[in-house]
Structure 1
């Protein structure tokens, strides 16, 4: 049975006096306090607090960071934590994140001030990574618990967790084990201390027993609430990514600025065209620039009508939509070579409304510099004066416009503001072409293109190119020149093994390459046994990181052995096993992804410039931001703005963007989301600092997503 701690009720005025704040006008004592929508993150430089700060950053939730390792840091005292605004007591932070349950020296005045502040304003505290001990509501691990690695362990969200802040999860919380030679997770598994009011939210089996030990739980004591986390993590690890949303929702009570979704979009490039095939003997691609001197015989890979039927059936079964990134000349050439017949195009055009469509230029021409392909790697051709010879504005115009017209005649549902150039060409490509083709921006203006794809591995930051804003895409390591698994594995071996093993030596020349192999993969089992799990983990990591950027593959990967599907199924099956139905994957088209990224950048700039004010008074949330800046917020179901319902449902809350017109935005919370009442009692003396906690190397330095044999 939970133990209820009785406290002596104090008035807000008395508590403010106890904190050393000015009492203010008498009438203010009877009003609800103002609580600013900002989180205080107190960091000791460890990975756990940094992970939570990164989560707040990505979502757009304002926070103030105090670095305990800096001698010039502010002192955390009553005046730092609270004050009075317009006669109303103000709590400057809606939640507190500490590196552990007490990171200060014994008898610390700062910990005493924090405890009093949390009691006064009902402010929750997150212990980002702490030792299990009675001061945190748990028994010490030596009393029937466990201290050690939990690599590869599958934890579970409890019924209490699913009924609260972690309700967006189905239950399982698997811990990564990417390398058997590197410690990646460390935890203190323990049960609640005798008499403690402690509720586990996430737990795992205690080795050698039939009991479960808490990994994440809530400890209520002395009028305070703490979320006690007893495992260490970094911002990239899957276990943190799964729990990060719940940690934020718990500490904010589901009322905060910022919003997050789990996104996954897949672009299929070169549709209607054919892709050249990897030659397993020559270790290059005949017909492409990596085979010099016309070596080899091209053997194109092109989808069939049966592949289209498979794609539409797959989409329907997965409730997912591909973005078909098309080259119209591929169909024109096919009809010229086959007496006017192109069964693939006929089927795709018949099923055109099953997909989204994006202009990929007419012939997939390279639109940067004019290439000299007589050498590998290619170089830019130069003029007599040594300047770069660029593909002309007219040539780029023709590629964009001709393909657009071809698609319009075919009835494809296009958005003409979107463009993916062949190989993302026209944009800078290091080292050969360090600058954009200056004619690209002019051609984009000519054709009213405002969203332009870039390659995230080369050009990840959103930027302007003339009138267009880039949308970076993640390349999947499922190769464009492979339609069969054996070809994919052979090329993978060539790229990622050393020269002594018959490989390219790229890993010897660039040791930072993370996909290097210690030995060649078996061509029969290497794809499903190694490449698919690896690519699945990488893509799922993006999905779980509130990252809307799309991934891209090629039409060849939907043909022949259809090698893309095992990876895509791995991502979606893995996701479905982890998340509740209230938290679906969000699949946006390129323009909408661009808008999301653009809004985030503008919001981040406004927050960092101190141009945003947001607070809660009782059941009302007020946000003031710069004119024209869209404001992201996450609020409880039933929230309204005036008479209009706010946001869209996701993960058990409402969230969305509201554009500010320069005046204050006001949101009314439902009565079920009443502000937590201050339940203060006599402020407990600050306990002794937490014992030293262990942090394995796999947390201080991220272990690459590379399975080892």
Structure 2
């Protein structure tokens, strides 16, 4: 059915008055309005507005969301958008995000109110995913454009995009194509409409149109308003959105907003100095470990050599990256005992100790939870005659921590005594065998001054307190601890993630939600390079691009023999470097700093959720009030000062950071180069012309965008 689109002119004098603004004389005196640092997200339940909301959540940037599909939702009118505070006009939102360029019915008073509000206060609007049409400043796709899949397409940031909100990118914006059977992306590619003031920021080649490119993201200026027009659909996990999310937020806030986003990557290498047992490709278990019955198979340990240390230090230098070595000193003591005091690996690591960061992993890597009964597979907790769980004692836990620390101090390792990674993250709860933390863990941590305790993100993802310590969850990489060679890794991967009929464990049949399941076994000669490395690279890079500081971990065995960890790490670091400009480096923090970042975020989010933070801009001053003891997170233009001092640190062309709050307002002074705030509300009687009454046509959303597209590790 053909849709009739009507274009009208909207007189906003009445709306300006209804916005609660002062009348003519007050406008003339130049009274600067107050603009609150909060975004309005109008959602229709689609993935694109959800992705922008997720980006703001992760950064700690406040917003108000209105779900158009919910009965009883607030009505968007002049009173909802603006009011007066202490005699000064207030814009309650610094930006507006809509699901498309006009999600409302024809002649909607809500769209009229938004149009008047945006013009009055110079508030920008993001069209999260809209059909390309003249009402959005673009030609229809049928006029020499394109509508369809853009899976695997490499888009490009334009010169205007690099000079504007996407300057932190090197240029390429590759679109994912993870499955040949799933439609993951859809876009409308077209060029600016005749006479439209439209600037493409990200574009891509138009299929079948030699030399012509179509806009995917661009700015449309009309009727005193500004819109960021996005014509491709996405969800919060897809790489193309993750690359552009920062620029979308910076554009709509003018680079002035609460919260901050950086790209983090840290890699822990567990079991250093020790050896890791090897996977047995015939038995499908690991002799010497708890997944093999006692006495089955012969342990075949994997241990680094001095040459592996040389490789690691050279690799670090070439990549400008520091590894965190998580060590068990017993490995060296046993080696020396067996070889007349000689341990060339330990000698080399100690000689090169300042090339790495070091973390206490306990002396023997003992399991510090319940006492394990390993006579059965899977193991179970031992119990006393009354059926009560028997726990590893406080003294035994404390000895594991303190003996390893003393060994490290004697060796001159640069340790942070507040950090600890227990063997297998033991002591903390592990389902199904041990649903509770070892009650002796917390006091033992306190005895040793441990304040940051590693946990496994796959089973204990939320930061929590364990006595005086706070957890730092780590991402396990699917590069297995019991594999030093690619063939072993693929064999175990096949066992885990294929069906019983294919010779696998059947874990995927028992738990269909497992995301790394295989339709058929991988080739042991090529499966690591062709499947596992790209998948693990994509998963890890997804964490990096999601403003997620949690560290990843592998094992020393993965730096030995065929050094199978490096292809994944190279994929992350080299891939990142190809995508981002030099002013947006990876942030490589040690565990205590990651824990502090996560703890600050938690306190900040709690204060935001409780409505305890107030932030607004008047002219060139940003004022933020937060509870005493809650550090304030903000991103502001370069040159911003606080109490006469430069604010924050440089990242992605802006300044961001945390500011301690004593419960008194913080006043940030923006530089003269910052995007100007409105000097006074627009005068009554001005008009907004344009198709504010024309609803946007429905835009296609393929099934691959409605759910998370990037798999996560389950092992």
TM-score, normalising length: structure 1: 0.96
User: Partners of 1:457 and 1:516 in 2: how far apart?
Assistant: 16
Alignment of 1:699 onto 2:700: no
Q: Give a deviation string over 1:621-679, Cα, whole Å, max 9, x none.
A: 00000001000000000000021100000001000000111000010000011424477
User: Partners of 2:590 and 2:319 in 1: how far apart?
Assistant: 17
Alignment of 1:103 onto 2:103: yes
Identify which range, 592-601 or 694-703, moves more after superposition: 694-703
Aligned to 2:74: 74
Q: Give a deviation string over 1:71-125, Cα, whole Å, max 9, x none.
A: 2111111111111111111111000000000011100111111111110110000
Aligned to 1:154: 154
Give the number of equivalent residue pairs. 697
Q: What is the CA distance between 1:521 and its match in structure 2?
A: 1.0
Aligned to 2:163: 163
User: Partners of 1:426 and 1:242 in 2: how far apart?
Assistant: 38
Aligned to 2:8: none
Aligned to 2:576: 575
Q: Provide closer, same or farther for how the CA distance between residues 22 and 91 of structure 1 changes in structure 2, counting only shifts above 3 A.
A: closer
Alignment of 1:126 onto 2:126: yes
Aligned to 2:225: 224
Residues 481 and 554 in structure 2, CA contact (< 8 A), matched pair in contact too: yes
Residues 178 and 706 in structure 1, CA contact (< 8 A), matched pair in contact too: no
Aligned to 2:364: 363
The within-5 A match list for 1:263-662 is 263-662=264-663
Aligned to 1:4: none
1:534 partner SS: helix
Residues 476 and 553 in structure 1, CA contact (< 8 A), matched pair in contact too: yes
Q: Give a deviation string over 1:336-357, Cα, whole Å, max 9, x none.
A: 0000001100110111111000
User: Partners of 2:484 and 2:606 in 1: how far apart?
Assistant: 44
User: Partners of 2:435 and 2:595 in 1: how far apart?
Assistant: 24
Q: Give a deviation string over 1:158-177, Cα, whole Å, max 9, x none.
A: 00000011000001101111
1:491 partner SS: helix
Q: What is the CA distance between 1:705 and its match in structure 2?
A: 3.8
Residues 42 and 99 in structure 1, CA contact (< 8 A), matched pair in contact too: yes
User: Partners of 2:682 and 2:516 in 1: how far apart?
Assistant: 54
Residues 266 and 588 in structure 2, CA contact (< 8 A), matched pair in contact too: yes
User: Partners of 1:706 and 1:323 in 2: how far apart?
Assistant: 23
Q: What is the CA distance between 1:495 and its match in structure 2?
A: 1.0
2:289 partner SS: coil
Aligned to 1:688: 694
Q: Provide closer, same or farther for how the CA distance between residues 20 and 609 of structure 1 changes in structure 2, counting only shifts above 3 A.
A: closer
Residues 483 and 561 in structure 1, CA contact (< 8 A), matched pair in contact too: yes
Q: What is the CA distance between 1:500 and its match in structure 2?
A: 1.5
Residues 19 and 116 in structure 1, CA contact (< 8 A), matched pair in contact too: no
Residues 112 and 683 in structure 1, CA contact (< 8 A), matched pair in contact too: no
Q: Provide closer, same or farther for how the CA distance between residues 25 and 222 of structure 1 changes in structure 2, counting only shifts above 3 A.
A: closer
1:292 partner SS: coil
Q: What is the CA distance between 1:151 and its match in structure 2?
A: 0.6
Q: What is the CA distance between 1:511 and its match in structure 2?
A: 1.2
Q: Provide closer, same or farther for how the CA distance between residues 419 and 356 of structure 1 changes in structure 2, counting only shifts above 3 A.
A: same
CA-atom RMSD in angstroms: 1.7
Q: What is the CA distance between 1:293 and its match in structure 2?
A: 2.4
The within-5 A match list for 1:122-271 is 122-210=122-210, 211-271=212-272
1:433 partner SS: coil
1:567 partner SS: helix
Aligned to 2:3: none
Residues 254 and 675 in structure 2, CA contact (< 8 A), matched pair in contact too: no
2:385 partner SS: coil
Alignment of 1:36 onto 2:36: yes
Using CA pairs under 8 Å that are at least 6 residues apart, name the structure with larger relative contact order, 1 or 2.
2
Residues 16 and 22 in structure 1, CA contact (< 8 A), matched pair in contact too: no
2:689 partner SS: coil
Q: What is the CA distance between 1:470 and its match in structure 2?
A: 0.3
User: Partners of 1:503 and 1:473 in 2: how far apart?
Assistant: 27
Q: Give a deviation string over 1:332-385, Cα, whole Å, max 9, x none.
A: 000000000011001101111110000000000000000011111100000110
The ranges of structure 1 where at least 4 consecutive aligned residues each deviate by more than 3 angstroms after the TM superposition are 14-20, 24-29, 676-681, 704-707
1:671 partner SS: coil
User: Partners of 1:687 and 1:679 in 2: how far apart?
Assistant: 21
Which segments of 5 or more consecutive residues in structure 1 lack a partner in the other structure? 1-9
Alignment of 1:49 onto 2:54: no
Q: Provide closer, same or farther for how the CA distance between residues 643 and 554 of structure 1 changes in structure 2, counting only shifts above 3 A.
A: same
User: Partners of 2:200 and 2:710 in 1: how far apart?
Assistant: 31
2:217 partner SS: strand
1:52 partner SS: helix
User: Partners of 1:706 and 1:466 in 2: how far apart?
Assistant: 30
Q: What is the CA distance between 1:281 and its match in structure 2?
A: 1.2
User: Partners of 1:300 and 1:351 in 2: how far apart?
Assistant: 24
Residues 238 and 710 in structure 2, CA contact (< 8 A), matched pair in contact too: no
User: Partners of 1:705 and 1:498 in 2: how far apart?
Assistant: 18
Residues 176 and 239 in structure 1, CA contact (< 8 A), matched pair in contact too: yes
Residues 130 and 229 in structure 1, CA contact (< 8 A), matched pair in contact too: yes
User: Partners of 1:542 and 1:17 in 2: how far apart?
Assistant: 44
Aligned to 1:64: 64
1:270 partner SS: strand
Residues 24 and 87 in structure 1, CA contact (< 8 A), matched pair in contact too: no
Residues 232 and 695 in structure 1, CA contact (< 8 A), matched pair in contact too: yes
User: Partners of 2:473 and 2:602 in 1: how far apart?
Assistant: 14
2:687 partner SS: coil
Q: Provide closer, same or farther for how the CA distance between residues 231 and 328 of structure 1 changes in structure 2, counting only shifts above 3 A.
A: same
TM-score, normalising length: structure 2: 0.96
User: Partners of 2:185 and 2:284 in 1: how far apart?
Assistant: 40
User: Partners of 2:139 and 2:114 in 1: how far apart?
Assistant: 24
User: Partners of 1:126 and 1:79 in 2: how far apart?
Assistant: 21
User: Partners of 2:554 and 2:673 in 1: how far apart?
Assistant: 46
User: Partners of 2:398 and 2:295 in 1: how far apart?
Assistant: 29
Q: Give a deviation string over 1:135-188, Cα, whole Å, max 9, x none.
A: 000011011111111111110000000001100000110111111111110111
User: Partners of 1:83 and 1:16 in 2: how far apart?
Assistant: 12
2:688 partner SS: coil
Q: Give a deviation string over 1:588-644, Cα, whole Å, max 9, x none.
A: 000000011111110001011110000001110000000010000000000000211
Q: What is the CA distance between 1:702 and its match in structure 2?
A: 2.2
Aligned to 1:6: none
Residues 115 and 684 in structure 1, CA contact (< 8 A), matched pair in contact too: no
1:672 partner SS: coil
User: Partners of 2:336 and 2:305 in 1: how far apart?
Assistant: 14
